[in-house]
Each structure stands twice: as C-alpha cells, then as structure tokens.
Amino acid sequence: GKLAQNADCRTRIAHEGGITAILDAMRAAPTDIGIQEQGLGALWRLAQDATNQGQIVQEGGVSLVLGAMADTASGPRVQDWGCGALCNLALDEGHRARVAQEGG
C-alpha cells in the first residue's frame, strides 16, 4: 500500500509483476480479510496511474474488487479501499463501463 503512494514506485511495482502478484494473492485467499484489505489498498493506489488501471482491468481486477467487497463485508477497510480502487478504475471511460457492467 504505502509504497504505491509514490508515482515512480507505482510504475516499478507494476513493471516487476506486483499487480499480478496482488491479484493472485487475492484470488488464492478470498476469505482472508487481511489479504483482501491489503490487496485492495494497494490496488487503490496503483490504479491512480492509467497504465496500471488497464492492467488491473485486463487481469480481472474489477471482479476481484467487487468479490472482496461482497464476500468480506465485515471488514470496513475492505469497503473503503474497494470503493477507492473502483473510483480510480472508473476515471477511464472504458473502464467505467466495465465496472458498471460487472455490477460496481
């Protein structure tokens, strides 16, 4: 999460496979609130960059964010950080349509 606050770090994280690793971890542990929280927090920050938005959407991130929000609703940060991730993804018109299409 916090490393992704810096634009250069966001680029580096994505370049080194960080987005894929985050999404894979979230897929592997869908009921682990801690993993979902941290994953959503990182995606929220990483999705501040247009290139990262595209990768997150392309790799199924929208459905993972929505799934985490539906499956682990007891975690308040899951809801907060999930909304942040969706908001950043929806900054792009095409991604906005995808978020809406998937129920966001």
DSSP H helices, the chain, are 7-15, 18-28, 33-46, 50-58, 61-71, 76-89, 93-101
Q: How many domains does the chain have?
A: 1
Structural domain range at position 35: 2-101
61: tokens are 């991130």
Does residue 5 register a pLDDT over 80?
no
Q: What is the pLDDT of residue 75?
A: 79
User: Which is more confidently placed, 73 or 75?
Assistant: 75
Q: Is 21 helix (H, G, I), strand (E, B) or coil?
A: helix
Split at pLDDT 50, 70, 90, the class of 102 is confident
Q: What is the pLDDT of residue 98?
A: 86
Say if pTM beats, i.e. exceeds, 0.85. Answer: yes
